[in-house]
Structure 1
Amino acid sequence: MKLYCDPITVNCRKVLAGLDLIGADFEKVHVDYFTGEQRSDEYRKINPNAALPALVDGDFVLWESNAILAYAADKVGNHAVYPADLRARADVNRWLLWEAAHWFPSCYVFLVEHCVKPLLQSVPDLAVIEAQQDNFHKLAGILDQRLGQTRWLAGDHVTIADIAVAAPAHLHPYQKLPLQPYPNLRRWLVEQVEALPCWDRTYVGEGFTTERKAA
C-alpha cells in the first residue's frame, strides 16, 4: 500500500497514527500541503478532491481518512482496533462518522484561526472563533459525557475511533481549544491518546513541525 500524505495535516496524522496502531505495512509518499501539491493534475488523478491523504493498494484507490483506517484494519485483520462484532463495529463507525461530520469542522476553525493564520502572518478573526464557541462546547460535552462512561470511546480498549476523534484536536494547546470544562475529554486526550506509541511516533508540534524542540 502507498499512502499519499503530508504528516502535518489533521487527516494525514490521523491515518499515519492509525496505520501504526493497526500494524499495517505501507509506503509513505510525501505530498506538500502548504505548497499546494495536492492540487496538481498528477495528484488529482489519484484523488479528484485534491485533498489528503489517499491510499493506493494495487489497482485500488481510496480516499477519505476514516475509510482508509477501516480498510487497513480489515486488510490486516486487526479486530482489536476495529471490531468484527456487529454492534461494536457500529459503535466505532458512529464515532468515525461523527468526527468527520461534526467534530473536525468545529476544531478546524480553531486550527485555522490560531495556527494557520499566524504562520501566514495573518490575524485570527475573533468573530469567527466566537461564532463557533457554542457548537464546540456542545460537541465537547458529548465527548466528555461519553468518556465519563468508558475509558476509550468505544469501550475498554483503544480503537481507530480514538485516533480519528483525537486528530482534529492534535494541536490543542496551539489551537487554544477551550477544553478546561471537560475533565474526561482532557484525561482521554492528554493522558491516554498522547501516551500511545503510535501518537508519539507521528508527532506534530507548534508551527506544524515534525521536529521536536530540544529539551
Structure 2
Amino acid sequence: MGSVVKLHGLPMSTNTARVIAVLNEKGVDFELVPVDLSPFGQVPVLEDGDLKLFESRAISKYLAEKHSDAGADLLLRRGGRSLAESATVELWVEVESKHFDPAISPLLYEAVVKPVLGQATDEAVVEAKAAELEKVLDVYEERLGKAKYLAGDHYTLADLHHQPYLFYLMKTAKAELVESRPRVLAWWNDISARAPWLKTAEGMKFP
C-alpha cells in the first residue's frame, strides 16, 4: 500500500477544485488538508509520497499521466491514439490558461469573492472582463460546432480545467454569457453533469 495522496488547499478555491476534479475522475483516494504550503502562497499543493507539487494545472497533468489507465482518458493517450489527438488536448489546455482564465478570473473576483469579503464590486472591471470573456466564448462556440468537446469527441483536461470558474460564473448575472451561446451551454450542461464533477462541486461553497 502506498501513502495516501495529500492535497493542501481549500475546496472552494477554483485551483484546488480543478485538482479535486481530476482526483475524482480518476477515483484516487486523497486527504484534503486545509493548509497552504506553497512557496508562492498559493493553493493547492499536492503531496504524493516524496513528491510535492504546486500549480493546479501541473498537478492535474501529473495526476492524469500517473493514473492514465483509470477513469476518463484525460490526455487522450490510451489505445494507440494519434499524436495529433493528444496535442489538441494540450492546445486547448493552453487556451484555457492564456485566454479564458485571464478574462474570467478577475470577473469572478469582483462578482463573487469581493462580496463574500464584504467589499464592493467594481462593476467597470466586471464589464471589461465580461467583454474579454465574450470574445473567448465566441471562439468556443465555433469550436463546439465542430466537436462535442474542446479537444474532440472525448472529455479531457481541456474541458475539466474550465469547470471550477464556470461553476461560479453560472451563479452570477454573467451566466448569460454562456446561456446565450447554445453550443457552449450544451457543453457546460454536459460536463457539469458528470458524477465526479458533482462530487467536486459539493465542496465549492463559501462559508
Task: Give TM-score scaled by structure 1 length.
Answer: 0.82
CA drift of 1:148 comes to 1.5
Q: CA RMSD in A?
A: 2.0
How far apart, in 2, do the equivalents of 1:205 and 1:176 lie? 22
Which secondary structure does the structure 1 equivalent of 2:170 belong to?
Answer: helix
Per-residue CA distance 1:12-64 (angstroms, 9 max, x = gap): 11111121112333322223xxxxxx3xxxx2xxx211111111122222111
Q: Which residue of 1 aligns with 2:156?
A: 159
Letter in 1 for 2:183: N
Cα distance, 1:200–1:115 mapped onto 2, change above 3 Å: same
Work out the percentage of aligned pairs sharing the same amino acid.
33
Q: Which residue of 1 aligns with 2:201?
A: 203
**Residues 10, 44 of structure 2: 8 Å contact kept:** yes
How far apart, in 2, do the equivalents of 1:125 and 1:188 lie? 30
Which secondary structure does the structure 1 equivalent of 2:192 belong to?
Answer: helix
CA drift of 1:150 comes to 0.9
Unaligned runs of 5+ in 2: none
Q: Which residue of 2 aligns with 1:188?
A: 187
CA drift of 1:181 comes to 2.7
Letter in 2 for 1:59: D
How far apart, in 2, do the equivalents of 1:134 and 1:64 lie? 27
How far apart, in 2, do the equivalents of 1:134 and 1:171 lie? 17
Cα distance, 1:207–1:58 mapped onto 2, change above 3 Å: closer
**Residues 12, 204 of structure 2: 8 Å contact kept:** no
Q: Which residue of 1 aligns with 2:63?
A: 72
Which secondary structure does the structure 1 equivalent of 2:46 belong to?
Answer: strand
1:9-24 alignment runs, 5 A limit: 9-24=13-28
**Residues 11, 203 of structure 2: 8 Å contact kept:** no
Count how many residue pairs are aligned between Structure 1 and Structure 2.
Answer: 195
Q: Which residue of 2 aligns with 1:103?
A: 100
Cα distance, 1:58–1:198 mapped onto 2, change above 3 Å: same
CA drift of 1:204 comes to 5.0
Which secondary structure does the structure 2 equivalent of 1:135 belong to?
Answer: helix
Which secondary structure does the structure 2 equivalent of 1:3 belong to?
Answer: strand
> Which of these residues, 107, 116, 120, is aligned with residue 117 of structure 2?
120
How far apart, in 2, do the equivalents of 1:173 and 1:161 lie? 19
Q: Which is worse superposed, 10-19 or 166-175?
A: 166-175
Task: Give TM-score scaled by structure 2 length.
Answer: 0.85
Unaligned runs of 5+ in 1: 32-37, 210-215
Cα distance, 1:206–1:55 mapped onto 2, change above 3 Å: closer
Which secondary structure does the structure 1 equivalent of 2:130 belong to?
Answer: helix
Q: Which residue of 2 aligns with 1:144?
A: 141
